Amino acid sequence: MMGSTDEQVFIPITVAERIFQTRGVRTIYIQAAGKDAITPATNEITSKLNKIFRVSSEEQNYAYRILDQSEMLETVNETSKTLSMMLGGIAAISLLVGGIGIMNIMLVSVTERTREIGIRKALGARKRDVLSQFLIESLVLSSTGGLIGVAMGYLLSLGLGKVMNMSVKTTPGVALVAYSFSLLVGVFFGIYPANKASNLKPIDALRYE
């Protein structure tokens, strides 16, 4: 049997029938000798129960039900995969929204600093200089947001762990991957505003009101 026996009470079956107002045994736990013995044990139990209940293999589902831990584990794994896909979708939407926000901020910055860009290019700034400037600004935005997000996630996990009385462990590798994704989002969504700024002609930029 699984679990600790510290909080278990063993009583006669007649007392249990009187307390729960039911007759007979509804659940029996059987422990196999090992993982490889689960299938033979299940077949043996099925054969004996069919003889006890006098049912055929087709009718056994109406008389009793046999569950093993491997089936429960498969169910848990499928549920975990579904939840992981849902969380992945939510994370992807969050990254998209955050990236669009960074791009909009950078576009506004380019618009407001059009004359500054024109002055820089008139003084000899190259296209790659302007491009790198705005890419660095986009990286600063995304990296700051990434640091804040990692810190908030760490603090919230600790808080939930204490409230729910759970052991929470934060892996540095996972935090590093999350932070790296924030940097990639900054670079990806910062390319368009940076490229727009670098392609401005000095004369048009200086005339911009």
Over its length of 209 residues, how does the chain's per-residue pLDDT go in tens digits? Answer: 455 667 778 888 888 888 888 877 778 888 888 777 888 888 888 888 888 877 776 666 667 777 777 777 788 888 888 988 998 888 889 888 888 998 999 999 898 888 888 888 888 888 889 999 999 999 998 999 889 988 998 898 888 888 888 787 778 888 888 889 888 988 899 999 999 988 888 888 777 76
| Any domain includes 40 | yes
Are both 165 and 93 inside the same structural domain? yes
Cβ-contact 66, 27 below 8 angstroms: no
Are both 99 and 19 inside the same structural domain? no
| Any domain includes 79 | no
**Domain of residue 177, residue span:** 84-207
Are both 103 and 193 inside the same structural domain? yes
Are both 98 and 168 inside the same structural domain? yes
pLDDT for residue 60: 62
| Any domain includes 8 | no
The span from the CA of 39 to the CA of 56, in Å, is 19
The span from the CA of 122 to the CA of 9, in Å, is 87
Burial bucket for residue 146 (CB in 10 Å: 0-12, 13-18, 19+): buried
The span from the CA of 100 to the CA of 66, in Å, is 53
Are both 106 and 50 inside the same structural domain? no
Are both 89 and 30 inside the same structural domain? no
pTM: 0.63
Torsion of CA 150, 154, 159, 163, to 10 degrees: 110
| Any domain includes 91 | yes
Are both 125 and 175 inside the same structural domain? yes
